[in-house]
Amino acid sequence: MRAIWEMTASEIASAVRSKSLSAVEVTTAHLRRLDEVNPKINAVVQQFPEEALQAAQAVDDAIVRGETPGALCGVPVTIKVNVDQQGHATTNGLCVFKDQVAKDDSPVVANIRKAGGVIVGRTNTPAFSLRWFTNNALHGQTLNPRNRDITPGGSSGGAASAVAAGICALGHGTDIAGSIRYPAYACGLHGLRPTTGRVPAYNSSAPDRFIGAQLMAVSGPITRSMSDLALSLTAMAAPDARDPWYVRAPLDGGDVPKRAALTIAPDGMPVEDDVRATLMDAADTLRDAGWIVDEVDCPPMRRAAAINACLWMAETQFGAKALIEREAEPESQFVFEQMCKDAGNVDFQSLMETLQTRAALVRDWELFLQTYPILICPVSGELPFAQQLDVSSEDAFARVFEAQLTQRAIPALGLPALSVAMGDVTGRPAGVQLVASRFREDILLAAGLDLENAQGMPKVCTPDWV
């Protein structure tokens, strides 16, 4: 018999709603699991068990009164430390923000609470949420529970590590250059980057962000099942008037032809043989499920990645450069320097031309996705990287940066994308990325479910080191 902390979010919500389990029982089981495994992986860096149990009791009380708590009825959730949760510090992995306590919940946190989710902890991120690895001077390093020698991903590495280890059934993450999709990939999970504007965003603890983050940064779920992604998206995407970019788009966009494009090496990016083989397996699986899959070139990824670099570095250089110097954390300083080299000089003219180019490129992608409602492409050109590879040398950073081409490109287009777990290869998780047109997360989840039905759902793992 499976432990409670091995259950999916959908199973937990159903069990709590039917009173076969109480939300307090579920929360207690996950808090015990947190105490057992978190010292080994350092995924959760802010804990508040009494607050979590009070929230669980409120769910149980609502059920006794005959009320419906919501889609996430009693589901244990973690929140990344870069979004506001009332009464807790929005550190973003920074020593200088260790006392920046939020007075209000961000929209995504408020929506999770309204849906009956129970927040059991807040998860680690690299300083400034700037890397595909998770380490910082304030909270320390997060390890991957499936393999301590490889990255848990970043910047939502704590969220993915917590889900993989059974600390929570749903991990909240954010994504501006792969920070949901890559941690899910590295930890052998599913991760959904929603369309820009699908999930409302706002942090009252800080000034509004500049145009790069407004166009590219999103919140989304990391889970162990496709049904949990759908459930989570329903909860997270509830309206909130505090976000001027929020779009009231339906979650079901209607039927489309079951046709997919397979692009193994977008724009000629280097792709390892094991990654190629996984992509081919995914294409064959979708064909077996009734999809027509054509191997074709997708629209430009490098141009989209260059747009991401310009928008992100314009924001960072203008708004965060002084803060990076003040934090003086060597790893983020090194990464920032390398990313600035890639972006080149970002001035007013280059920013305006980038925004102009973006409009044309989004048009090209939307037209492509009318013909092929799904694109199958790499999450990364390599299997998950060794811990701290990116800061080991400039050459190593360049290797990591190139392998993450698709992670950097998609956010610049505002498109939704899904990282799908596809088992292990030589002791490292493997997976594929699916991309769809704006506000068509439903197509991603349908294709992802076909892959999951053939591959099986990811399972909880227990760190096996002392």
Of 231, 282, 258, 294, residue with least CA distance to 455: 282
Mean pLDDT of the residues in the chain: 97
200 contacts 239 by C-beta, under 8 angstroms: yes
When pLDDT is cut at 50, 70 and 90, the band that residue 287 belongs to is: very high
User: Is residue 229 a part of any domain in this protein?
Assistant: yes
* Helix orientation angle between 330-343 and 302-319, rounded to the nearest 10 degrees: 130
192 contacts 173 by C-beta, under 8 angstroms: no
160 contacts 154 by C-beta, under 8 angstroms: no
* pLDDT tens for each residue of 94-141: 999 999 999 999 999 999 999 999 999 999 999 999 999 999 999 999
User: Is residue 466 a part of any domain in this protein?
Assistant: no
Whether 10 is catalytic: no
The stretch 353-379 carries a mean pLDDT of 98
For residue 65, give the amino acid letter: R
For residue 47, give the amino acid letter: Q
| Residue 258: predicted pLDDT | 98
| Residue 30: predicted pLDDT | 98
Percent above pLDDT 90 for the chain? 95
Whether 321 is catalytic: no
| Residue 316: predicted pLDDT | 77
User: Is residue 195 a part of any domain in this protein?
Assistant: yes
Q: Of 26-35, 36-45, 292-301, 340-349, which gets the smallest average pLDDT?
A: 340-349
Cα 135 from Cα 332, distance rounded (Å): 9
- If one compares 384 and 465, the residue with the highest pLDDT of the two is 384
Q: Are strands 374-377 and 428-435 parallel, antiparallel or unpaired?
A: antiparallel
| Residue 317: predicted pLDDT | 75
| Residue 344: predicted pLDDT | 87
The stretch 223-228 carries a mean pLDDT of 98
| Residue 197: predicted pLDDT | 98
299, pLDDT greater than 80: yes
Q: Could you say which of 10, 80, 156, 258 is catalytic?
A: 80
263 contacts 297 by C-beta, under 8 angstroms: yes
User: Is residue 216 a part of any domain in this protein?
Assistant: yes
314, pLDDT greater than 90: no
Q: Could you say which of 179, 225, 332, 380 is catalytic?
A: 179
CATH number at residue 334: 3.90.1300.10
Whether 40 is catalytic: no
Instruction: Put residue 408 in one of left, alpha, beta given phi > 0 → left and psi -120 to 50 → alpha.
Output: alpha
User: Is residue 464 a part of any domain in this protein?
Assistant: no
User: Is residue 155 a part of any domain in this protein?
Assistant: yes
* pLDDT tens for each residue of 42-90: 999 999 999 999 999 999 999 999 998 999 999 999 999 999 999 999 9
User: Is residue 161 a part of any domain in this protein?
Assistant: yes
Q: Could you say which of 106, 129, 155, 205 is catalytic?
A: 155
Question: Per the structure block, which two tokens stand in for 171?
Answer: 């991990």
The stretch 189-213 carries a mean pLDDT of 96
315, pLDDT greater than 90: no
| Residue 345: predicted pLDDT | 84
Question: Per the structure block, which two tokens stand in for 313?
Answer: 């570095």
| Residue 321: predicted pLDDT | 84
Tell me the residue range of the domain where 301 lies. Answer: 4-455
* pLDDT tens for each residue of 229-278: 999 999 999 999 999 999 999 999 999 999 999 999 999 999 999 999 99
As for how many domains the chain has, the answer is 1
User: Is residue 171 a part of any domain in this protein?
Assistant: yes
Cα 164 from Cα 151, distance rounded (Å): 13
* pLDDT tens for each residue of 138-192: 999 999 999 999 999 999 999 999 999 999 999 999 999 999 999 999 999 999 9
With a CB cutoff of 8 Å and minimum separation 6, the contacts of 285 are 450, 451, 454, 455
| Residue 313: predicted pLDDT | 84
| Residue 365: predicted pLDDT | 98
